[in-house]
Structure 1
Amino acid sequence: MADNREAGPSTDEAIVQEPLTPLTKVLLVVALIFLLLSSVFIGLFAGAQHKLNSGRGGGGGDLSSTQLACLSPECIILSSSILSSLDTSQDPCENFYEYANGGWLKSHPIPSDKGAFGNFEALAQENRRVLQQILSSESSYSSTSYDQQILKKLREFYNSCMDESKLAELGTEPLASVTSRVRRLLKSETTVVDTTVKEKHSNKNGLTAAIAYLHSRGIDGLFSVDIEGDVGADPNFMTFWFSQPELGLPSKEYYDEESIVELYQSVLQRLVLTLADEEELLGVRSELPPTALTVPEERLRVWPPWPWPPWGGDDDDGGDDDETEPMTPAKASKLAWKIIDLEKAIANASLDLDILYQDPIATYNPAPLEDLTTALPEIKFPEYFAAFTPRNFPSNVILTSTTYPSSLSAILNATTSETLEAYLVTRAGLALAPLLSLETEAWKAVRNLQEVLQGLKKGAVGDRAEFCTTQVEQAMGFATGRYFVNETFAGDSKEKGTKIIKDIVQTFKKSLSHIEWMDKKSAAAAGEKADAIRIKVGYPVSPDTLDPRSIAIYYTRVNIHEGTFFDNILSASANDEYLKWQKLGKQRDPEAWEMFPSTVNAYFNPPANEIVFPAGILQPPFFSRDWPGYMSYGSFGQVASHELTHAFDSAGRLYNQQGKLEQWWTNATSEGFQKRQDCIVKQYSEYTIDDGKGGKIHVNVRATSTSGENIGDTGIIQAYRAWKAQYDTGFESGTEYLLPGLNYTREQLFFISFARAWARNMRTQSAVARVRTDPHSPNQYRVDGTLFNVPEFAEAFQCSPKSKLNPPQEKRCLFW
């Protein structure tokens, strides 16, 4: 067939004949340079690959030296982040924390408005950015009416916080409305303790109503309450727990520091003065009408009780107060010192933190309600319970301290009404002043205290959007969590995270038969407990993160008022307390969570025998579904193994597989464990931090206060073994690929991945506060102290027998 197309040059000829433009020439040169660099890189990498796979490099099995590294943009970025975090001038066998994190620490200074900044804080900040975009956008994320309702509530909450001009206009008025209500309730005649005693040091009328009001808004004072399982009888039966309160200062030790106490006194004085002045200006100081607090029987006739709260809304001003002596600076100063004396007495009557945190037997003291009411008659507990509208009042309670109720009674009867009123008012001030406008005296006073205790730069204030996002997350975290999960936890992230956890559980079970201090009977029981542990990953189903109706119902009682940020916070707090009290006398909800989906943390709950891992921590630098196995097991694996090990640490081992307090180990096994616990207490007691005054503070302020967490950290060996156990399968499936430019074995990268998670810069003041209040050790010891007890680490880095992190075997505290 004839070809009728017009004859012309071929395509190749056209290209050859076409002259090159200057841009084309530049691009050709760039391409040639790129090809040359790629050839050099591949050649260098091939040599490194041969070294990695020729002995030290393999994670297991006889590996092929022809396996290539991942060269995707994601792998290059991950490799770059690892390289930039290192400080190779350090000896990994002497100071692995600095070796793995020195580069990161130098390039991530602490923001001026924060006391510490590390990978946990960086990830939390990144998670808040995701939430902030959701809160500040107009997108619906879903067409359901429930989602529209939830998002409207969340965004109005966020916008009310961002409206700084409205906050400035309101000034201290929102806080003054709370404190004036406290005063009126305290002076009311609805809760008379003993009408025959008229001496001014006797108990104060209305104390029950006043403390119930504060507690209903999440403000601690005098004592604290939790609704948790009865671990001695039925861990799933939710019971009333009575315990000591938080203090105005972070811990007992601060009340012995003269400079801190003087600062605290000045802050309390400023709060007392400014709130008295504001209340007087507003004209809201008045006695509560006798009808404002109904009797319990009437309150319980309708279920669910409504309206809420039973003493009126937060905007109820009440009537006029009798004339009182005006507050003066001199009087406020005296009251501030009396508040401190009261708090010191409460601190002295409280348990030390090592007992509170680490001794579940000493803190489990079941008793009839009558015992509590007899020991502490100043609080009318039936009326206190009625304020929270539980369906059933408890007939039995659990005391964390058998002596605290009677000690508190003595303290109250030695405290004047005026001092007690000032204490309750300043409890509200310390809790709520940070929510006011930055221009208010109350905000400035409390901020001054925070700056000194945390070492913050004076006057430095963080990003308002980040602050407001945090407030919304804390107030309605299951609602924000729904949209966070949609944005960040897609695909098979849940499945891959769960696999790592289950691999570690199985590895732990296999190791039980090889633990020389654990006999066969105890090992079998430990295996049963490991099998019984409930694993929760990503997000809850109660309320159901994937069901907007469930979320909407959960937050039904949160009434959001546009432009009234303070009221929104109080409404959310009241909702939390209401829901907490609805658990009383019921069986535990097995699907409930104690953390929000966006939280960068995880936990083990002994009574529920569950380990929980929110989607918030299943993000880089802890987890990615696309990471190689040695990275995932080294980073997220340590989180999983830590929480699992808590089930068998100094406190967790005292709970059986049903979450009940019981001696389920043999005496011989318990004795063997105790020897190793004594070993780890001794090891960490030798670690210190600077106190900022030229001295040192030992990590274990109290000998056993951190032992449970340190034992939890020893679980990293289970993550390492779990990674090794699955290595061959992972290698065959391509999940053990190497990263470009890293001249490290997979074993070494496992431990580097472990250590990187703990990178954190911390101001001296914040570090001191942490040692005094936090059962976790400082991060450098969570790395080096842990690896001191892991022979596999010393082997991976070929450490000399004389190096710090390769001690003689007999000096190691080997649990597992």
Structure 2
Amino acid sequence: MADRVPRHSTDQETAPLLRGDEEDDLRSHEQPPQTFSERLNSLAQEPLTPLSKLLLLLALVLLLVSSVFIGLFAGEYTKLKQHEHEQKPPVATVTVTSTATYTTTAAPPPAPTAPPVEQPCTSAECIILSASILSSLDHSKNPCKNFFDFANGGWIADHPLPADKGSFGQFEALSQQNKRVIQHFLETPSTTSSFSTSYDEQLLKKLRDFYSSCMNEDGLDEIGAEPLIHFVNTIRKLFRGKGLEVTDKEASLTGLTAALAFLHSRGIDSLFSFAIDGDVGVDPNLMVLWFDQARLGLPSKEYYDEESILEVYQSVVERLLVTLAEEQKLQSRPGTPTLVENAAWPSWPWPPYPDEGEGEDDKPNRTEIAHSMAKKVIKFESRLANASLDADAYQDPFFTYNRVPLSNVTTTLSQIKFPEYFATFATRRFPENVIVAYPAYLESLSDILNTTPADVVEAYLVVRAALALSPNLGMSTEAWQAQRTLLETLTGIKKGASSLGFAAGRYFVNETFGGDSREKGTKVITDIVKAFKASLPNVPWLDKTSADAAAEKADAIRVKVGFPISPNTRDARSIFNYYNTVKVSKDTYFDNVLSAVASDQFKMWLKLGQRRNSEEWEMWPSMVNAYFNPPANEIVFPAGILQPPFFSHDWPSYLSYGAFGQVAAHELTHAFDSAGRLYNQDGKLENWWTNSSNAGFQIKQECIEKQYSSYTVDDGKGGKIHVNGNLTSGENIGDSGLIQAYRAWKAQYSESFKAGNEYLLPGLNYTREQLFFISFGRIWGNNMKTAAQVQRVRTDPHSPNIFRVDGTVFNIPEFAQAFNCPKGARLNPPPEEQCLFWS
């Protein structure tokens, strides 16, 4: 070191190391000193004493032993240096010639100490959180090339796809966890006085009876298909009117109207559908009637062109028709209870077979008849599919907003007696106008009905009911198994039937969403709104007029977090009144579902002609989801998604802003995506952008569409299917809002750090910036079967999860900076290849 300079050389020491008083006394009498040679010669001439001989021998032995040890040490040292040399790359030898000048200097003062090393949190909660993040990662993947795999490879490996599911990911995992919370209070008797009011007691009883009726699998199997047979017989009775055969047109119109209204009142889509929502072209808060096409038996119209899928679908329809006939025959035998009001109606079997009086040899084969009817039903449904609007066309709200007089609908679709239809829903306020999503479908539907035999239409309605309701039967029934076959082929996941979600949400929120969760979740959202507004002046394609209008819309957005107040989650009486009309028995799950769905439909129709209730929600508090509602200009985040791995009120901010921040930014950005941007701050459908900003947006949207259309998934047959960039453009633009979450986190960082909200986690050798993006990426981890992926690409406006991750960070330069991605890396493309929406 610099302060350790060599000492000056001297011929002799100024003083001995050790010195005694006797030596000082003798100094004055000493003779002149002898030379070294003289002293050595004198010593050699002296005879050795026995003691001297002994000492000399010991000295020789010590010298020999020392030599041996030195040799051994030198050998081991040489081996060690050679091993180190082999482990290190060769280093060039540099010869330096210098002249040393030694001076006496004082040691320099000590340098200032470095800032103390920031210590990570070591609490049990922090260790568990850190472990969950580490276990999600796949360190063998390069984050600059495959970030989705890097962020989720570990989680995917630890969560193989369940055999009964086509897809399973972080969303589904959290949904299961939330359901277990609900299951716990449904199965555990109340032991506290937290909910001791009579309203809570009644609510919990209704919930628990509903749950018990679902979980009683033995009871469901014992009941069998009886509830479905009863429902189907009701459809047939309504469709056929007073007689078994439809002979005149008036009776046909009355029967079809009655049967269709009955199905719609139970939430079963057939032929067409109605919804009640705001009139976005006139007054977004005035609830009006919207007419649209119905959902199909298959997920999308493309499936009706695939022979392999149609074969499975036809087989399922055929099985349903046969089992309904078989079960009905058993119900009609003497001594067995009948489920119809008049035992003489309906006749067995169905579809209608020859009279019982004919000989057995004269009767057509039952399977052949069901096979023939199934083919006719699918042909009828295929015609409906061909007449339907393509899914990506729904991304244009102007195209699907067609305000017409109600008489246009009633005249065009003359097969339906609409006054009677509306009367089914107890409404007396027949609307003057209706919004039609696709007017051409009205005309096509009318032509299809005019050219289809009545028995085929009747069979179609029966099949729609059987497909929708058979999941509510026991798993041993043929109807349940037939419908399950179709689900497994399509690998879709059926939606859960209504289970009094707002009532269950009361107890879910009480259990999982306490403390300051609502306040902290709201802060993340409002910070992102601020970041979005701050970015608008810097968006090159957005002029000042449009930027100012966008800022006003952002300010006007209503933010809803956690739970609704209509019905009020905190008020048992409010929820009790909301579900007062739902009749529940612990022994009849099938009927419980119908009662709950019918209640929902009734509430929907009551809104017709009313003003919008700004406090209502479209999701239950326990749901793992969020949404933006354009006519209401609101973004909504249920408590169900404000749970790990999306959010926790005591997480460091870089994790919350990365995970839940993406959810919040996504919904906010929907207000300015390809469809949402066409609604103004009041939710009215109008073009409030300037021409130049419209043109700039279109360029960016086309960039996004081109980017995502280049992505492909396996079709399971050796080929590839491209993502529909047009269908998914709105959601992909929504995902681009991640940059606003990043900016929001950075903007609050200093204050958050001082407050101790940016603490480090143990064992994570990543920067906070990297952990922000890791937190974002890992929420999209999922396993999915090939067929389910194909279905998603065809029908879902959301891109596959891998592209929601890699496609998003592809367009965010801050990601590449955080991970030091080299230029040209897959996720660090040149700026001209990126679709930079908000910068």
**TM norm structure 1:** 0.84
Relative to structure 1, the CA distance from residue 391 to residue 65 in structure 2 (aligned partners, 3 Å threshold; closer, same or farther) is: farther
> Does 2:286 match 1:237?
yes
Question: Which residue number corresponds to residue 340 of structure 1?
Answer: 378
Q: Please give the secondary structure, in 2, of the residue aligned with 1:397.
A: strand
SS in 2 for 1:775: coil
CA change 1:496–1:391 in 2 (3 A) is farther
Q: Is 1:183–1:210's contact at 8 Å kept on the other side of the alignment?
A: yes
| Whole-Å separation in 2 of the counterparts to 1:174 and 1:317 | 14
Corresponding position: 1:261 with 2:310: yes
Q: How far, CA to CA, are the matches of 1:316 and 1:592 in structure 2?
A: 39
| Secondary structure of residue in 2 paired with 1:249 | coil
> For 1:584-733, what aligned pairs fall within 5 Å after superposition?
584-700=608-724, 703-733=725-755
- The residue matched to 1:475 in structure 2 has which SS? coil
Q: 1:432 aligns with which of 452, 455, 469?
A: 469
- What SS class does the counterpart of residue 342 from structure 1 fall into? helix
Q: Distance in 1 between matches of 2:630 and 2:289?
A: 17
Query: Which of 744, 749, 761 does residue 771 from structure 2 map onto?
Result: 749
CA displacement, residues 201-250 of structure 1 (integer Å, 9 cap, x when unaligned): x9554101101100111111100111010000000111110001111011
1:66 aligns with 2:121: no
Distance 2:610 2:428 in 1: 9
Range moving further from structure 2, 131-140 or 244-253: 131-140
Number of equivalences: 704
Structure 2 residue corresponding to 1:803, chosen from 806, 825, 829: 825
* Aligned twin of 1:82: 133
Counterpart position of 2:517: 493
The Cα shift of 1:281 comes to: 3.1
Q: Residues 376, 76 of structure 1: CA spacing in aligned structure 2 closer, same or farther, 3 A cutoff?
A: same
Structure-2 residue corresponding to 1:351: 389
In the alignment, the residues of structure 1 paired with residue 273 and residue 327 of structure 2 have an alpha-carbon distance, to the nearest angstrom, of 29
In the alignment, what sits opposite 2:88?
Answer: none
Q: 1:178 to 1:788 in 2, by over 3 A?
A: same
Structure 2 counterparts to residues 486-635 of structure 1, below 5 A: 486-635=510-659
Contact 2:240 2:252 in 1 (8 A): no
Q: Return the match for 1:773 from 782, 795, 808.
A: 795
Instruction: Determine if contact 2:253/2:416 at 8 Å carries over to the other structure.
Output: no
8 Å contact kept, 2:152–2:781:
yes
SS at match of 1:689: strand
Give CA deviations for 1:171-202 in whole Å, capped at 9, x if unaligned.
Answer: 11100111110000001169x9995x59xxx9
Q: Give the distance between the partners of 1:679 and 1:81, measured in 2 at CA.
A: 36
Q: Secondary structure at the match of 1:227?
A: strand
Asked whether the equivalents of residues 391 and 582 of structure 1 are also in contact (C-alpha less than 8 Å), the reply is no
The answer to whether the 8 Å contact 1:455/1:763 transfers is no
The one-letter code of the counterpart of 2:732 is N
CA contact (8 A) 2:409 2:442 kept: yes
What residue number does 2:202 align with?
A: 149
Q: Are the equivalent residues in 2 in contact too, given 1:177–1:279 (CA < 8 A)?
A: no
1:475 is displaced (CA, Å) by: 2.4
Indicate whether 1:273 and 2:322 are aligned: yes
One-letter code aligned to 2:514: A
Letter in 2 for 1:578: F
Q: Deviations over 1:328-358 (max 9, x none)?
A: 21111111011111111111111000012x1
Letter in 2 for 1:162: M
Q: How far apart in 1 are the matches of 2:174 and 2:326? A: 42
Q: For residue 317 of structure 2, give the secondary structure of its aligned residue in structure 1.
A: helix
Query: Could you say which residue in structure 2 is the equivalent of 1:300?
Result: none
Of residues 402, 413, 433, the one that matches 2:450 is: 413
Instruction: Return the alpha-carbon distance in structure 2 between the equivalents of residues 451 and 471 of structure 1.
Output: 16
- Give the 3-state SS of the residue equivalent to 1:446 in structure 2: helix
SS in 1 for 2:281: coil
SS of corresponding position for 1:595: coil
1:224 and 2:304 correspond? no
Aligned to 2:66: none
What is the rounded CA distance, in whole Å, between the counterparts of 1:780 and 1:154 in structure 2?
38
Query: What residue number does 1:812 align with?
Result: 834
Which residue of structure 2 lines up, in the alignment, with residue 306 of structure 1? Answer: none
Distance 1:705 1:673, change over 3 A: same
- 1:175 matched residue in structure 2: 228
Could you tell me which residue of structure 1 aligns to residue 809 of structure 2? 787
Paired letter, 1:339: V
Counterpart for residue 294 of structure 1:
none
Distance 2:115 2:581 in 1: 62
State how far apart, in whole Å, the 2-side matches of 1:184 and 1:425 are: 11
Give runs of aligned pairs for residues 19-168 of structure 1, distance below 5 A: 65-139=116-190, 141-168=194-221
Cα distance in 1 between the residues matched to 2:658 and 2:324:
52
**Using the alignment, how far apart are the partners of 1:720 and 1:777 within structure 2?**
22
Preserved CA contact (<8 Å) 1:686 1:698:
yes
Indicate the residue corresponding to 1:186 in structure 2.
239
- Please state how far the C-alpha of 1:381 moved relative to its aligned partner: 1.0
> Does structure 2 retain, via aligned residues, the 8 Å contact 1:193–1:377?
no
- The CA distance in 1 between the partners of 2:559 and 2:642, in whole Å, is 14
Query: 2:239·2:458 contact (CA, 8 Å) conserved in 1?
Result: yes
Pick the aligned partner of 1:212 from 258, 261, 266: 261
What is the alpha-carbon distance in structure 1 between the residues aligned to residue 413 and residue 185 of structure 2?
48
Matched residue type, 2:444 = S
Letter in structure 1 aligned against 2:422: F
Cα RMSD over matched residues?
1.9
Aligned partner letter, 1:558: V
Q: Larger RCO: Structure 1 or Structure 2 (Cα < 8 Å, ≥ 6 residues apart)?
A: 1
Q: Secondary structure at the match of 1:536?
A: strand
Structure 1 residue 780, shift from structure 2 partner: 0.5
Distance 1:315 1:602, change over 3 A: farther
| SS of corresponding position for 1:771 | helix
- Distance (Å, rounded) in 1 between the aligned partners of 2:212 and 2:304: 39
Q: What amino acid sits opposite 1:429 in the alignment?
A: A
Q: Is it true that 1:366 corresponds to 2:403 in the alignment?
A: yes
Distance 1:709 1:512 in 2: 20
SS at match of 1:206: helix
Q: String of CA shifts for 1:119-139, please: whole Å, max 9, x gaps.
A: 001000000000110111111
List alignment gaps of at least 5 residues for structure 1: 1-62, 285-313, 457-466
Q: Distance in 2 between matches of 1:322 and 1:725?
A: 71
Return 5+ residue gaps in structure 2 as ranges: 1-113, 355-364
Contact 2:406 2:433 in 1 (8 A): yes
Q: Rate the CA distance shift 1:756–1:204 in 2: closer, same or farther, 3 A.
A: same
Q: Distance in 2 between matches of 1:553 and 1:540?
A: 15
8 A contact 1:231–1:660 mirrored in 2:
yes
Matched, 1:445 2:509: no
Task: State the identity as a percent.
Answer: 62
- Alignment partners' CA distance in 2, 1:598 and 1:177: 33
Contact 1:193 1:204 in 2 (8 A): no
C-alpha distance in 2 between matches for 1:351 and 1:226? 17
Question: Aligned letter for 1:758?
Answer: W
Offset of residue 359 of structure 1? 0.8
Distance 1:151 1:177 in 2: 29
Between the aligned partners of 2:492 and 2:758, the Cα distance in structure 1 is 43
Pairwise mapping of residues 463-474 of structure 1 onto structure 2 (< 5 A)?
471=496, 474=498
Give the TM-score of the pair, scaled to structure 2: 0.82
CA contact (8 A) 2:537 2:544 kept: yes
Residue in structure 2 matched with residue 32 of structure 1 by the alignment: none
- SS of the residue 1:120 aligns to: helix
Larger CA Rg, structure 1 vs 2: 2
Tell me what 1:310 maps to: none
Q: Secondary structure at the match of 1:160?
A: helix
Distance 1:540 1:455, change over 3 A: closer
